């Protein structure tokens, strides 16, 4: 019932469109606005708004351009940070921990653990279907058990601790940078814990994958030991840019 369209994903830029069949919202305009417009085939205005998780460049790069078409929706602190750097034409402020209603979607922004001013994830309920999707990018972990109706999960799967450690040992990445990643991003190991506390999930999208510190195939195998349902990833290298790739 929920559709997820990954426009871009990873540390070089993020952009997603979530739809319950009635209402579409964009999340994170993190690539140049003209690219978003091109990749969505000029359908930006079909979205009610563009939610923003936090102010880092890979999540807001195209905010100024997109705000000419649809409002940028974020918490007051995040909106303020974006406005320091970009001219935002239309905006809406989001309240945390309560429902912010956009047509048929009731969206609850909740706190996550990341090095930004006010980083949030989004719990999105379709008022049409009474089912929910949770969206989490850039977070060290999640402390929540989501309601039973949360069958859809779009979540960061950034690094594999074993590969990250190996990359430090072989000098491919500096130790301080590895520690920064560990303190701010989701590992495969932590993701597995989240799936164990949220056994109701039936459809899973893995986003914001690192190209250097993760091997997606072995990651999927590790996840499949605890989670037996559908897994989707973003496969840029396969030229499959605007569709989900089912594993
Ligand atoms: Zn990011
Ligand atoms: Zn970030």
Span from the CA of 78 to the centroid of ligand 2 (angstroms): 12
Q: How far is the CA of 14 from the centre of ligand 1 (A)?
A: 7
Is 20 in contact with 41 (CB distance < 8 Å)?
no
- Work out the number of other CB atoms within 10 angstroms of the CB of residue 52: 29
Tell how far the Cα of 128 is from the centroid of ligand 1, in angstroms.
Answer: 31
Domain residue ranges in the chain: 3-246
pLDDT attached to residue 42: 86
Distance 31 CA to ligand 1 centre (A): 11
- For CA atoms 149, 136, 29, 99, the dihedral sign is positive
Q: Residue 140 C-alpha to ligand 2 middle, in angstroms? A: 11
Q: Residue 199 Cα, ligand 1 centroid: separation in angstroms? A: 26
Architecture of the domain defined by 3-246 = 4-Layer Sandwich (3.60)
Distance 175 CA to ligand 2 centre (A): 19
Cα 162 to middle of ligand 2, angstroms:
22
DSSP H stretches of helix in the chain: 33-39, 57-60, 63-66, 76-85, 161-169, 175-184, 188-197, 216-224
Asked whether 134 and 108 are in contact (CB, 8 A), the reply is: no
Residues counted in the chain: 247
Distance 84 CA to ligand 1 centre (A): 19
Q: What is the pLDDT of residues 149-191, one digit of tens each?
A: 999 999 999 999 999 999 999 999 999 999 999 999 999 999 9
- Which token pair is 131? 């089912």
What distance in angstroms lies between residue 114's CA and the mean position of ligand 1's atoms?
A: 10
What's the pTM? 0.95
Alpha carbon of 184 to ligand 2 centroid (Å): 8
Query: How does pLDDT run across 41-74, given as a tens digit for each residue?
Result: 889 999 999 999 999 999 999 999 999 999 999 9
Q: Which ligand is nearest to the CA of 13?
A: 1
Share of the chain above pLDDT 90, in %: 92
Of 241, 244, 201, 247, which Cα lies nearest the Cα of 31?
241
> Distance, CA 129 to ligand 2 centroid (Å)?
31
Q: What is the mean pLDDT of residues 80-88?
A: 97
Q: Is the pLDDT of residue 241 over 80?
A: no
In whole angstroms, give the CA distance from residue 63 to residue 73.
10
Task: Report CA(9)–ligand 1 centroid distance (Å).
Answer: 9
């Amino acid at each position: 019932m929920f559709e997820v369209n990954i426009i871009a994903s990873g540390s070089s830029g993020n952009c997603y469109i979530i739809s319950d069949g009635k209402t579409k919202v964009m999340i994170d305009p993190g690539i140049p606005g003209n690219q978003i417009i091109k990749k969505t085939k000029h359908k930006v205005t079909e979205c009610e708004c563009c939610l923003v998780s936090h102010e880092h460049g890979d999540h807001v790069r195209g905010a100024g351009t997109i705000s000419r078409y649809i409002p940028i929706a974020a918490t007051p602190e995040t909106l303020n940070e974006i406005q320091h750097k970009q001219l935002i034409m239309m905006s809406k402020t989001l309240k945390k921990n309560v429902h912010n209603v956009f047509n048929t979607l009731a969206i609850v922004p909740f706190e996550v653990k990341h090095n930004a001013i006010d980083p949030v994830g989004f719990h999105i309920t379709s008022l049409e279907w009474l089912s929910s999707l949770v969206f989490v990018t850039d977070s060290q972990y999640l402390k929540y058990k989501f309601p039973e109706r949360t069958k859809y999960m779009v979540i960061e799967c950034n690094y594999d601790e074993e590969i990250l450690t190996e990359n430090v040992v072989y000098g491919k990445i500096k130790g301080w940078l590895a520690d920064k990643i560990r303190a701010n991003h989701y590992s495969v190991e932590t993701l597995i814990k989240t799936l164990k506390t949220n056994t109701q999930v039936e459809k899973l999208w893995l986003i914001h994958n690192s190209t250097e510190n993760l091997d997606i195939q072995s990651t999927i195998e590790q996840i499949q030991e605890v989670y037996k349902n559908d897994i989707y990833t973003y496969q840029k290298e396969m030229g499959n840019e605007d569709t989900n790739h089912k594993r």
